[in-house]
Structure 1
Amino acid sequence: MADNHLFRGCRCTLDPWVFATNLPPEQNPQGQHIWSRPLARTWTVMLVLCSCLVYCARMAMPVCVVSMAATFGWSKTESGLVLGGFYWGYCLTQILGGHTSDKFGGERILFLSTASWAIITAATPLLGRLEDHSVAAMTIARFLMGLLQGVVFPSLVSVCSQRMVEGERGFLMSCINGGSYFGMLVVGGVGSLMLERRGWQSVFYATGALSGLWALIVCRFLLQGQVIPNHLLSASYWSVPKLHWLSHLKKGPVCAMVLAHMCHSGASYALLSWLPTYFKDTFPHAPGWLYNVIPWTIAIPSAVSGGYVSDYLINAGYGVSAVRKIMQFVAMGVSSVFMLLVCKPVTFTFALASVSAAVGCNTFSTSGVSINVQDLAPSCAGALYGFMNMCGAFMGLLVVFFSGYLIEVTASWPAVFSLIGLLNVTGLGFFLVLGDASRVDLEDYRAVSPVGRQPL
C-alpha cells in the first residue's frame, strides 16, 4: 500500500473479520468490529466529504433547472416533473440500502453508490443532446440518481452503528449532517458562479468529477480494490434469515422512534421547501441571498455542536435515553417555538433570526431520533433507518403538498407554521413517553455502561 500521509498509521482494509475490537466481550455483545482510532479519523473525513458531495449532486439540478428550462423550452410543469423524479427514486431504495449495508458492509455500498451516481451526474449534460426527449431523459436520470442516493444515509447509519462506540456516534453523525448543509452552500454559492460564467453543464461535470475522485480514493486506499471479499460470496454467509428487523417494529420504543422521525421529516420538508417562498412573499424587497444562505450557515456549527454535546453528556455518565430525548426536545420543541414567533407580523430581521434559530435547533435531531436506531438495534440499524427514512420521505411529500394547498386556499403562512408545530409536538410527545435507548435486537442483552473515548 502506498505510504500516503493521510492514511499512515492505520491498516486500511475494511474486512470486518480483520479488525479486532478493543472493547471487552461483555461490552461488545454483538461482536462488532470497532474502527481503530487512526482509521476512525480517516473515515470521519471521508464520510463528511461523502455527505457534502451527495448534496452537491442532489442540488445541482435545482440550481440549474431555470437555465435548463430556458435552453430546452421546459414549462413549469415539465421542470417540476424533472425535479420530482429524484424523490420517487429516493424513497424506493432506503430499506434495500440499509439491509444490504448491514449484511454487506456500509463502506462498500457507499463506494458502489457514489461511483454510480458520479457517472450519472457527469453524463447528465450529454443527455441534453436528446433535445426532443430532454424531459424524459432528464427525468429518468433524476430517478436513477434518487435510487442510487437512497442507499447513502442508511449506509452511513449502518457504518456508524457497526464501527463506532456508543459515546462517539452522535459527533460522527452530526459532522455528517453538517457536511450535508455545507454541500448545499457549496453548490448554491460556487455552483451559481459556475452556472453564470461557464453554463449549467459545468456544474454537473465538476460535481460528477469530484464524486468520482472520492470513490477512487476510497477504492484505492481504504478498500484496497477489494470491493467484494470472497467470504461475502459464500452461501453460508447469506443464509441468515432476512428481514428479521421487521419484528422490532412491534416494540414500543421502535414505533415511537419511527413516528417521531416521520413527524420531524414532514415538518423539515415543509420548512425547507417553503421558507424561500415565505420570505419572497412577505418581504419582497429583501435580498434573496440573505435568507437562502444565513439559515444554512447557522445549521453547520449547530449540527456539529449538537453531536458534541450529546457525546459529552453520555461519556459524562448521563443516561443515553435521556440525552436522546433532550436533543429531540430541542429539535422539535424549541424549533417550533421559534417558528410560531413569525406567525404574527414581524420585521425581516426578526423573521430571519427566528427562522435561522429554528433551522439550527432542527439539526439537533441528528443526535436524537436519527441516531436512536443505533441504540435500539445496532445489528440492523441500516435496515431500520432505511424503513423510517422511507416513511419520513413519503410523509414529507404529503406535508409539502398539503402546505401548498393551505397557502393557496387560506393565503395564510401562520396556518403552515402551525401545521409544522403540530407535527413536531405530536412526534415529540410520543418519543418522550415511549422512547428508549435499551437494545431490542438481542434477547439476552444486558445493559452496559457506555464506553467513552475522547471525541474524534
Structure 2
Amino acid sequence: MAVIQKHGKSYSPDLVCLKENHPPDKTGVAGGHKKCPEHHTNWSRPVARVWTVVLLLGTCLLYCARVAMPICAVSMAEKFNWTKRESGMVLGSFFWGYCFTQVFGGYVSDRVGGEKVLLLAAAAWGSMTAFTPILAHLCSQPILSMTLARFLMGLLQGVHYPSLASLCSQKVVESERGFLMSTVGSGSYLGTLLIGGAGSLMLDLYGWESVFYISGFMSVLWAYCMWKYLLKGEGPLISLESLGSGGSQSKLTKRHWLRLFKQRAVWAVIVTHLCTASTYFTLLSWLPTFFKESFPDAKGWVFNVIPWLVAIPSSLFSGCLSDHLISQGVDTVSVRKLMQFFSMGVSSVFTFLLCGNTTFLWAVAFVSATMGLTTFSHSGVSVNVQDLAPSCAGSLFGVMNTCGAFSGVIMVYFSGYLIEATGSWASVFALITTVNLLGLFTFLAFAEARRVDIDSSPGALVLQCFLPPSLVRTQPRPWLCLPPRGMQWNNDDGATK
C-alpha cells in the first residue's frame, strides 16, 4: 500500500486513482476492462435538509399505514367474527410479504435511483391502505381478502429501507449520512406514536374504517408532493431498459457478488443487523404483554408512549454525534463501532436489569433507556453498509433486512415458547442480552469502513493511499482506473516508474 506523507503527517486512508491521459477504454465488460462508473452529484446541504424532512415524514406515514391494522384488529375481529388464530394470520401475513422484496427493492434502487422506488411504492401501499375497508366489506370472505391485503402491504413496504440506503449512499456525503439515516429512522417511532394516539381517537369516534382512509390518503398525498416538488414532475415509471443497463450505477456480476460475500466486513454487518433486528422485533412484540402481566394496574399509555418519546431524540442525537466525530477527524470505522457499542452493549445492561424484580417506574425507565440506546444503530451498522458498498448499498441492505426480518419472526416465536416453558420473563430478557452481545462482538471484531465493492478484475488497479481530505474530495467515486500506459505503481513510495 502506498503511503503519502506531507510535512511529516500521515493522512486518513481513502481510495484514489490516477487516470490515463489517452482516450478512455471503450471495450466494456466484454473486453475485460470496466469503465469508470459515472460520478454521482451529492445533494447540497440545503437540498439534503429538505430531503431529510420529506423522508422523515414518509417513514412516519409508512408506520402509520403499517400499524393501522394492529390498532383496528380487535374491532375488525368483532365485526367479522375472527378468532385469535385468524387475527394472528392476518397480522402475521405482513411480515412474510415484507421479507420477499427487500433485495429486489435494493437492486432496483441501485439501478434507477432510490427516490423513484420510494415514490412508486408509497403511492401503491398508500392506495392499498385506503382501499382496505372497501375490500373488507366487498369480499364475501374478509379473512382471505385481509390476509392477502396485508401480504401485499408487506411486499410494497419491504422496498422502503433498502431504497433509503441506496439513495443515501448515492446522494449524501459520508460525514452526513449518520444524521440523515438517524433522523429518517426516528420517523418510525413518530409514526407509531401518531397512529397510536390519533388512530385510537379516530377508531373510537368514527370507526375502524377511518383509520385506514386517513392513513392511506396522507400517504398518497405525500407521494404526490414528493413527485411534484422534489422530482419536479419527472416520470416515476421504471423501464426494463433502465433495469438491464444498470442506470448510473455499475452493474455487479455474479463474480463481484461472490467476491463481496467473501469479505469479513460484509458478514459482520449482516450478522450484526440480524441480531439488532431480531432483538428489536422481540421487544416490540412482547413488551406490552410484559407490562400487562407484571403490572396489571399500570396505565397502558405510560409504557406504550414514554419509550418511543425517548427513542426519537435519542436517534437524532446519535446522528449528530456520529457526524460530528467524523467531521472532527475521528476514524469512520471507530465511530461506527462506538455507535453500535451504545446500541447493543450499553442497552443490554438495561435489558438485563429487567431480569430482576423491579417496580413499575424502574421497569419503564429501563425499557426507555433500552429503546433509546437501540436507536444508535441508525448511525452504526445501518450506515456502515453504505461505507462498504455504495455502488450496491440498496441490494446489500436488502439482504441484511431480509435476514433480520426472518430471524425476528423466529425469535418472537421462540420467546413465546420460553415464556410458556419457564414461566419467567427473565429468560426472554437474558436471550435478548445474549443475542445483542453476540452481534456486538462480531461487529467490533470484523467491521470495517473501507470500500469492498471495488472491481479487482485483471487489468484494473486500485491504489490505496493516504491523502489529505481536500484532495480526496476532488476525486470521482468510485475510483477505479488503470495506470498510464508503460507505467506501473511503486508500492513503496506511491510513485510511477
Q: Please report the TM-score for the alignment, with normalisation by the length of structure 1.
A: 0.90
State the distance in 2 between where 1:291 and 1:121 align: 28
Structure 1 match to 2:280: 268
Match among 114, 123, 136 for residue 128 of structure 1: 136
5+ residue gaps, structure 1:
1-23
Residue identity in the other structure for 1:195: L
Does the aligned pair in 1 maintain the 2:80–2:142 contact within 8 Å?
A: yes
Report SS of the residue matched to 1:84: helix
Cα distance, 1:264 vs. partner? 1.1
Structure 2 match to 1:382: 394
Q: Taking structure 1 as reference, are residues 69 and 267 closer, same or farther at Cα in structure 2, changes over 3 Å only?
A: same
- Matching of residues 17-416 of structure 1 within 5 Å: 31-130=39-138, 132-223=140-231, 224-228=233-237, 233=242, 236-237=245-246, 240-242=251-253, 244-416=256-428
Does the aligned pair in 2 maintain the 1:104–1:232 contact within 8 Å?
A: no
5+ residue gaps, structure 2:
1-14, 19-35, 457-461, 474-497
Does the aligned pair in 2 maintain the 1:97–1:109 contact within 8 Å?
A: yes
The superposition leaves residues 328-372 of structure 1 with CA deviations (integer Å, 9 ceiling, x where unpaired) of: 010001111001111111110011101100110010011111111
Cα distance, 1:113 vs. partner? 0.2
Does the aligned pair in 1 maintain the 2:340–2:376 contact within 8 Å?
A: yes
Does the aligned pair in 2 maintain the 1:248–1:254 contact within 8 Å?
A: yes
State the distance in 1 between where 2:37 and 2:316 align: 29
Cα distance, 1:396 vs. partner? 0.4
Q: Taking structure 1 as reference, are residues 402 and 231 closer, same or farther at Cα in structure 2, changes over 3 Å only?
A: closer
Q: Taking structure 1 as reference, are residues 314 and 366 closer, same or farther at Cα in structure 2, changes over 3 Å only?
A: same
**Percent of paired sites with the same residue:** 53
State the distance in 2 between where 1:449 and 1:348 align: 54
Residue identity in the other structure for 1:226: G
State the distance in 1 between where 2:159 and 2:469 align: 29
Q: Which gives a bigger RCO, structure 1 or 2 (Cα 8 Å, sep 6+)? A: 2
Report SS of the residue matched to 1:81: helix
State the distance in 2 between where 1:309 and 1:301 align: 12
Bigger CA drift: 160-169 or 441-450? 441-450
Instruction: State how many pairs are aligned.
Output: 430
State the distance in 1 between where 2:286 and 2:216 align: 28
Residue identity in the other structure for 1:363: T
- Bigger proportion of residues as helix: 1
The superposition leaves residues 138-170 of structure 1 with CA deviations (integer Å, 9 ceiling, x where unpaired) of: 000000000000000000011111100000000
Structure 2 match to 1:10: none
Cα distance, 1:26 vs. partner? 7.0
State the distance in 1 between where 2:374 and 2:159 align: 23
Cα distance, 1:240 vs. partner? 3.5
Residue identity in the other structure for 1:202: S
Does the aligned pair in 2 maintain the 1:261–1:389 contact within 8 Å?
A: yes
Report SS of the residue matched to 2:188: helix
Bigger CA drift: 57-66 or 240-249? 240-249
Does the aligned pair in 1 maintain the 2:318–2:376 contact within 8 Å?
A: yes
Report SS of the residue matched to 2:141: helix
Residue identity in the other structure for 2:316: V
Q: Taking structure 1 as reference, are residues 434 and 119 closer, same or farther at Cα in structure 2, changes over 3 Å only?
A: same
Structure 2 match to 1:430: 442
Residue identity in the other structure for 2:406: F
The superposition leaves residues 233-280 of structure 1 with CA deviations (integer Å, 9 ceiling, x where unpaired) of: 496556945564453121011111111111111111111110011101
Aligned-CA RMSD value: 2.3
Structure with max Cα Rg: 2
Q: Taking structure 1 as reference, are residues 363 and 329 closer, same or farther at Cα in structure 2, changes over 3 Å only?
A: same
State the distance in 2 between where 1:52 and 1:183 align: 4
Q: Taking structure 1 as reference, are residues 170 and 279 closer, same or farther at Cα in structure 2, changes over 3 Å only?
A: same
State the distance in 1 between where 2:118 and 2:369 align: 32
Q: Please report the TM-score for the alignment, with normalisation by the length of structure 2.
A: 0.83
State the distance in 1 between where 2:317 and 2:62 align: 22
State the distance in 2 between where 1:449 and 1:55 align: 43
Cα distance, 1:45 vs. partner? 1.2
Cα distance, 1:36 vs. partner? 2.3
Cα distance, 1:202 vs. partner? 0.3
Residue identity in the other structure for 1:436: E
State the distance in 2 between where 1:408 and 1:132 align: 37
The superposition leaves residues 285-316 of structure 1 with CA deviations (integer Å, 9 ceiling, x where unpaired) of: 00011000000110000001001100000001
Q: Taking structure 1 as reference, are residues 234 and 75 closer, same or farther at Cα in structure 2, changes over 3 Å only?
A: closer
Residue identity in the other structure for 1:160: C
